[in-house]
Structure 1
Amino acid sequence: MTQSTTARVGRFHQGRLSEGRPQALDAWRVTTDDADVAARVAGLLGGEPQPNDGGGGGLAHEVLTSRDSVRVIVDGPDAVAAHMVLWSSKVIVHDCDGSRFLAPEEKKGQPCGCPPLLEDKRLAARDGRGPMPSIDLTFRIAAAPVLGKFHFQTSSWQLAAQLSDLTDALERVDGPAVCDLTMELVLLTTKTGRSVCYRKPVVAVLGSPDTVAPEPPSSAEPTPAPASSAPRRKARRPHEPATRNVPELACSVSVDTALLHRAAQVLGTSDHQETVVAALSAVAAGQQQTTELAQLRDHVGRIAAIAEQALHGGDSSRT
């Protein structure tokens, strides 16, 4: 899959930094350098434009929207760029398509040595021995395509597992495709009986712009079945409040910035908030704050142990 070289006006995020404290959000955050674009995004998706103090490529403005699902237009499979990346000391040491090297240049085209199964790739990445997914989706907001192209970058293994179905569905549309880009809430119970919830990115292909409305229906009527088999959550209705009290709905934790930088190298993520989203994926949503903090303490302990093993065992094995 290739990436369009057309300039993009903004970026969608699942997290941010607030006063140096990383937050995982329960609604999309949009950053842009264009004040007019920020104002229009706020009008479409809720929230208010404000200076971007939460990180994200140095873009000047951010909007903390009220939407966990946004209807977008994706211009076919070429709008999805996906590869596997391993970083070491701010340098990419492994960049592949899952079977052959894309970089460094001297290895380009050679077999990369990654295991064929996605779960084995994930285990290798967890142990610091293999690369992480790097997925970049380019799209336009369906309700206002004239605003230009936005993109969403993620290292989500769940979305990596969906890529084959996603590209097949986009090919079947044979042209621009209307999709729902959703931060889907996942609830599960561990083998020890602990309840865990987190949000994963999901792209559901609905059809062509000629057959699918640019906004979900506001009534309780069922929406058309998506062209892909990926699960999808209904977007929030327009009459819901346009803004949120973000600190109450998003968990924050203090993080040593040096350790966060090392974690980014191990996880193969490009900035702080994406590192935290990748590492602290089990963030409680809509539960009492005390329960959220208790869950986070437990997960932080597990992540610290995994990170220590990866950093100590992974540094010596990478070249």
Structure 2
Amino acid sequence: MTQSTTVQVGRFYTGRLAEGRPQALNTWRFTTDDAEVAARVAALLGGQPQPNEGGGALAHEVLTNRERVRVLMDGPDAVAAHMILWGSKGIIHECDGLEFLSPEEKKGQPCGCPPRLEGRKMAARDGRGPTPSINLTFRIAAEPALGDFRFMTGSWQLAAQLPDLTDALERVGGPAVCDLTMELVVFTTKAGRSVCYRRPVVTVLGSPDTVAPESPPPVSPPPPPTPSAPRRRTRKSAEHSVPPAPERTGSVNVDADLLRRAGQALGTSDPQETVIAALSEVVASQQRATELAQLREHVERIAAIAEQALQGADRSLA
């Protein structure tokens, strides 16, 4: 088994404090006292370095945009786990599930914890037994030279995974490439209530020479440009977009002089152009581009009727 000799430079978390209250996160949070390390982690995992206001003694934090981090773990020794029960004056029970680790006078004696995980969970829920305290040490696979990072958790789900995790790390026989993931869990309670939360999961992938390098995360496409006010359509484009005249079912009175004067003011040359340009001037600053496009279709139909009315002998159309 290989143990890392690099310096521990920071910690990973699944939550933080927000206005004094615990807040669960959807992506990993990182803290460090080294501003350069914070900047490098942000470059690798996304987010921006900022002063640590989310809990913990380290000065800088990064709220990354990654729910999965590819890491290197140096064998089973990278996993430390025990069970702790806290009292008002400190630790009153610390064990490995079989024997006491503290207090000193009880060290090595049977701890009396239930042999199965479900029994231990029930004892802890009733305040009679300890809860897991798991400490993972790892390096970021994309840049191991940054140093060692630590993640501490009391997750019962990860505690149940520990035997398989340590066996998998033992089989690799050296530094192991792993995925440290905040896995989303969604379920419905017996009362019909939907519940979702994130749990830490470690997946051992293999040794560095057998695992392909991780692909860089996909680059999000740039946001579409803000649509500008529509340009006035030329006579040629307007003519191509005029639909066939609808059947005559009602009457529309057209004021030819008003259209002519509006055209002079707007610089348009025919009635359809005038109607479209006039409405564009009013609507462009208030509607989105898609809404305006729909409106223009209706306007063009009205403008087509108006144009035919001006050119025809009968000035009212059904």
* Letter of the structure 2 residue corresponding to residue 35 of structure 1: A
Q: CA deviation at 1:173?
A: 0.5
Q: CA deviation at 1:214?
A: 4.0
Say whether the 8 Å CA contact 1:47–1:65 is kept in structure 2. Answer: yes
Q: CA deviation at 1:239?
A: 1.6
Q: For the structure 1 residues 11 and 97, does the alpha-carbon distance in structure 2 shift closer, same or farther, using more than 3 Å as the test?
A: same
Q: CA deviation at 1:174?
A: 0.6
Where does residue 137 of structure 2 map in the other structure?
138
Within the alignment, does 1:60 sit opposite 2:50 as a pair? no
How far apart in 2 are the matches of 1:112 and 1:23?
Answer: 34
Where does residue 96 of structure 2 map in the other structure?
97
How far apart in 2 are the matches of 1:193 and 1:82?
Answer: 35
Q: Note the 1:7-156 alignment, pairs <5 A.
A: 7-56=7-56, 58-156=57-155
* 1:239 maps to which of 219, 223, 239: 219
SS in 1 for 2:43: helix
SS in 2 for 1:161: helix
Say whether the 8 Å CA contact 1:81–1:135 is kept in structure 2. Answer: yes
SS in 2 for 1:50: strand
Say whether the 8 Å CA contact 1:82–1:136 is kept in structure 2. Answer: yes
TM-score for the superposition, normalised by structure 1: 0.67
TM-score for the superposition, normalised by structure 2: 0.67
Say whether the 8 Å CA contact 1:179–1:205 is kept in structure 2. Answer: yes
How far apart in 1 are the matches of 2:142 and 2:220?
Answer: 18
SS in 1 for 2:8: coil
How far apart in 2 are the matches of 1:91 and 1:115?
Answer: 23
SS in 2 for 1:23: strand
How far apart in 2 are the matches of 1:67 and 1:103?
Answer: 37
Which structure would you say has the larger RCO, counting Cα contacts within 8 Å and 6 or more residues apart?
1
* Letter of the structure 1 residue corresponding to residue 51 of structure 2: P
How far apart in 2 are the matches of 1:90 and 1:25?
Answer: 31
How far apart in 2 are the matches of 1:81 and 1:132?
Answer: 14
Q: CA deviation at 1:19?
A: 2.5
How far apart in 1 are the matches of 2:203 and 2:7?
Answer: 24
What RMSD, in angstroms, separates the aligned Cα atoms of the two structures? Answer: 1.9
How far apart in 1 are the matches of 2:138 and 2:106?
Answer: 32
Q: Note the 1:267-286 alignment, pairs <5 A.
A: none
Q: CA deviation at 1:101?
A: 0.3
Q: CA deviation at 1:35?
A: 0.4
* Letter of the structure 1 residue corresponding to residue 181 of structure 2: T
Say whether the 8 Å CA contact 2:6–2:147 is kept in structure 1. Answer: no
How far apart in 1 are the matches of 2:24 and 2:101?
Answer: 31
SS in 2 for 1:121: helix
SS in 2 for 1:9: strand
* Letter of the structure 2 residue corresponding to residue 180 of structure 1: D
How far apart in 1 are the matches of 2:213 and 2:147?
Answer: 15
SS in 2 for 1:54: coil
SS in 1 for 2:115: coil
Q: CA deviation at 1:152?
A: 0.3
Q: Note the 1:172-211 alignment, pairs <5 A.
A: 172-211=171-210
Q: For the structure 1 residues 176 and 4, does the alpha-carbon distance in structure 2 shift closer, same or farther, using more than 3 Å as the test?
A: closer
SS in 2 for 1:153: strand
Q: For the structure 1 residues 28 and 74, does the alpha-carbon distance in structure 2 shift closer, same or farther, using more than 3 Å as the test?
A: same
Q: Deviations over 1:156-200 (max 9, x none)?
A: 000000000000110111100000000000111111222111100
How far apart in 1 are the matches of 2:213 and 2:154?
Answer: 27
Structure 1: stretches of 5+ with no match in the other structure: 219-236, 242-319
How far apart in 2 are the matches of 1:5 and 1:99?
Answer: 30
Q: CA deviation at 1:89?
A: 1.5
* Letter of the structure 1 residue corresponding to residue 138 of structure 2: F
Percent of aligned positions that are identical: 77
Q: CA deviation at 1:238?
A: 3.3
